Amino acid sequence: MSNRRILVADDDRKAVEMVSLYLKREGYEVLPAYDGPTSLELARNAHPALIVLDLMLPGIDGLDICRLLRQESNVPIIMLTARATEEDKLAGLELGADDYVTKPFSPRELVARIRTVLRRVGETAETVEEDASFGSLTVSFRRHEVRVDGRRIALTPSEFGVLATLVREPGRAFTRQQLLEKALGHSFDGLERNVDVHVMNLRRKLGFGPDDPIKAVYGVGYKFEVGDHAR
């Protein structure tokens, strides 16, 4: 996988050309795709560092592609959507996308978000922090890896970022905005509800049920409560 290779999938050729122009100016290699089957093939075979994925692609839509890729890869995905409702915007996040951008969008903003996601992935991979273990849960910051009872749990970069931020400071209550900024790298327009979706996905994947160490703090946000998981 090249860390400079970006797959841009959108049936709007002018939009792909514009985004490609900005990305190439930043030194990225761009893989253009204009329909669902081509996008899925490139995602699987060309090993991009990140995918910009339109929600409404012909052949296979963006949500289905995201769902399929999440069964086999943790590649960062930024969804593009022209739909206006918050529920539509969050649909991709619920399937494991890392971020979304609403159309019409600024190419500069999209490139900034791409840089943010890739930087976050790179920083996590390069960190020399020791593993954090809480009972059956182990978080490896260096390997960007989470295990429960020795079983590797596949997380997206954003899901890992939220969990890593919480476990670095057990017991501390983070606001949703703090998690957006610390874990997801958002210093610009980002819905705080995005964090709720990532936490929902984390709880489902970690599978602790009522003993889940990620606790909601009413009126604030979330914290990682060690409790029995420290044994």
Number of Cβ within 10 Å of residue 171's Cβ equals 11
Tell me the C-alpha distance between 199 and 201, whole Å: 5
Domains in the chain: ranges and CATH: 5-124 (3.40.50.2300), 127-230 (1.10.10.10)
Residue 85: the pLDDT is 65
Residue 14: the pLDDT is 93
The reported pTM is: 0.67
Long-range contacts of 137-145 (CB under 8 A, 24+ apart): 137/206, 137/213, 137/229, 139/163, 139/164, 139/167
Residue 197: the pLDDT is 86
Residue 97: the pLDDT is 85
Burial of 219 (0-12, 13-18, 19+ CB in 10 A): exposed
- Token reading at 230: 């420290």
Output phi, psi for 125, to 5 deg.
-70, -30
Q: Name the pairing type of β-strands 50-54 and 5-9.
A: parallel
Residue 222: the pLDDT is 94
Residue 166: the pLDDT is 92
Look up residue 213 and give its amino acid.
P
- Token reading at 198: 């990532």
Residue owning tokens 């060309």: 46
**pLDDT by residue for the chain (231 residues), tens digit each?**
557 899 999 999 999 999 999 999 999 999 999 999 999 999 999 999 999 999 889 999 999 999 999 888 889 999 888 865 667 667 777 788 888 888 888 888 899 889 888 877 765 554 446 678 888 899 888 777 899 998 989 888 888 889 999 998 889 999 988 888 777 665 445 567 788 888 998 999 998 888 889 999 988 899 998 764 443
For 104-155, the DSSP string reads S--HHHHHHHHHHHHHHHHHHHH--PPPEEETTEEEETTTTEEEETTEEE--
